[in-house]
Amino acid sequence: MRHDEASEYILSFLLGDAIPLDISGKIRISRHTQVQRSPDYVAYCRPEEAEPYHRVVIVPSGFFDYDQYGRAESMPALPLAEWHGMPLLFGEPREEYLDTPYGRRLVIYADLVASSFFLLSRYEEIYYRRRRDEHGRFPGRESLPYRAGFLERPLVDEYAAELRRLMSEIGLAVQPMVPGFSSISLTHDLDQPYYSSGVRGFLRLLLKERLSLRAAYHNTFSRASEDLFFSYSRFLDWNVETQRKCAALVRTIFFIKTPSPHPLDKPNYTLRNRKIAAIMRLARRRKVEFGLHLNLYCSEHPEAVEAAKVELEKELGQSVIYSRHHYLAVREPEDYNALLGAGIYHDYSMGYADVAGFRLGTSRPVRFINPQSMEVTDLILHPLTVMDYTLHDEKYMHLDYAEAERVAVAMINQTHKYHGEVTLLFHNENLLLDDPHIYHTRLYRTLLRQIIKLSPAPDIVGL
């Protein structure tokens, strides 16, 4: 059946990591990686279709049936039923046990496969094509997880933990979900890498922002380290400190834009810019990795992704396999095919801009499943844990510091509970030493301390 590959992958994701890792902790890349199969004793079928050796049977709800998939009948109805204290999107919240010659059989009528597929594949976004904001994004507040009240829970991970618990009760060996972090990605988008640069920047400060001649000149033509938005040295020190004091793998990634005709992609810059060159020298000394920050023009024209990647690779002098969309503006699920076509294998865009939460229902990296074709691809999606603008911007959550800290720490704690990957996104212009109107310098430090507290290196106590 058309959904067999996706069903197999989801079962393997529920029962294990389902993403191949090499010994360095980096995800292996293969054009033709075989989808990992679930154990032979686990089946996704009706009870009467199960083989004698099947010890666990998850009963399909009909979600994938030809006369339901993609239609109104396939959408979950609110309020949702609950299975073991968890919202259930499809199926019945019950299970039964049967005795067989191979041992006790667990029959689960809660359709964990379809419920997980719905979340991991962004299925509702292909059904509600007209629900888009001014940037073409599907709003988080329109999503089922938000409307049903579980966006701040990694529901697929909860399913996985409960499924493994039930399997262990009938004597099956399962991979436990040990608390911890699989890795930490401290990411920074270079949207506004400097406050002012060049003659145009000088004239903007002088004529539009009404700075004095001396102030406009100093902010534009002084050393890069004296630029108002140059917070890099400080926060890279914090990142390196976190790397040293945390037991998990910690990496820093800068996402770099390429020039674009879209007005919201300004400022346009290249790595030849004097201030950008200084930032890059510092970044290379601190072992920063680099990814492509896909501009809004690429969001509107996915066919432009490959040219943008080639342009950045030429400037960097190295290959690029990471990406994140500017404004998190991944418009349609199938637009991800353009990333694969361009040779990008890791995307870090999977969070909602308007509200914090687990957009894919998981805290763990997961393969992109195309909800139209049901194909399981080689593109790895890295869930976004926290973005600074989501928390403070008046268009989004508009939280004060106390509430922002509560939300962000809760997301990190949930990620730790299910051995997920933390991905923080904080912009350089929000990590300033003297910043009277927002709180992100303080918040970023708090979150780094929380990460170290939850996963300290063996020889480290405290920060």
Question: Which 3 state secondary structure label does DSSP give 135?
Answer: coil
The residue length of the chain stands at: 463
The reported pLDDT for the residue numbered 22 is 36
| pLDDT score, position 203 | 76
Q: Which residues make up the CATH 3.20.20 domain(s) of the chain?
A: 183-454
Give the residue-averaged pLDDT of 251-257: 99
Residue 17: its pLDDT value, please?
Answer: 57
Count of Cβ atoms closer than 10 Å to residue 26 Cβ: 12
What per-residue confidence (pLDDT) applies to 282? 98
What kind of fold does domain 183-454 have according to CATH? TIM Barrel (3.20.20)
Indicate the pTM of the whole model: 0.93
State the Cα–Cα distance between residues 260 and 256, nearest whole angstrom. Answer: 12
Distance CA 308, CA 317 (A): 14
Output Rg (C-alpha) for the chain, integer angstroms: 23
Q: What percent of the chain has pLDDT over 70?
A: 92
Split at pLDDT 50, 70, 90, the class of 222 is confident
- Per-residue pLDDT band at 214 (split at 50, 70, 90): confident
pLDDT digit string, tens, across residues 382-412: 999 999 999 999 999 999 999 999 999 999 9
How far apart, in whole angstroms, are the C-alpha atoms of residue 305 and residue 339? 7
Which pLDDT score, from 0 to 100, does residue 213 have?
A: 83
**Mean pLDDT computed over 320-348:** 97
Distances (CA, A) of 101 to 97, 109, 339: 13, 22, 49
Cα 243 from Cα 43, distance rounded (Å): 41
Q: Tell me, what's the pLDDT at 71?
A: 93
Q: Which of 258, 247, 268 is nearest to 290 (CA)?
A: 258
Q: Residue 207 has which token pair?
A: 């004529």
User: pLDDT tens, 40-61?
Assistant: 889 999 999 999 999 999 999 9
> Which of the four pLDDT bands, split at 50, 70 and 90, describes residue 438?
confident
Instruction: Please give the pLDDT value at position 28.
Output: 39
- Distances from the Cα of 451 to the Cα of 40, 206, 329, angstroms: 37, 43, 28
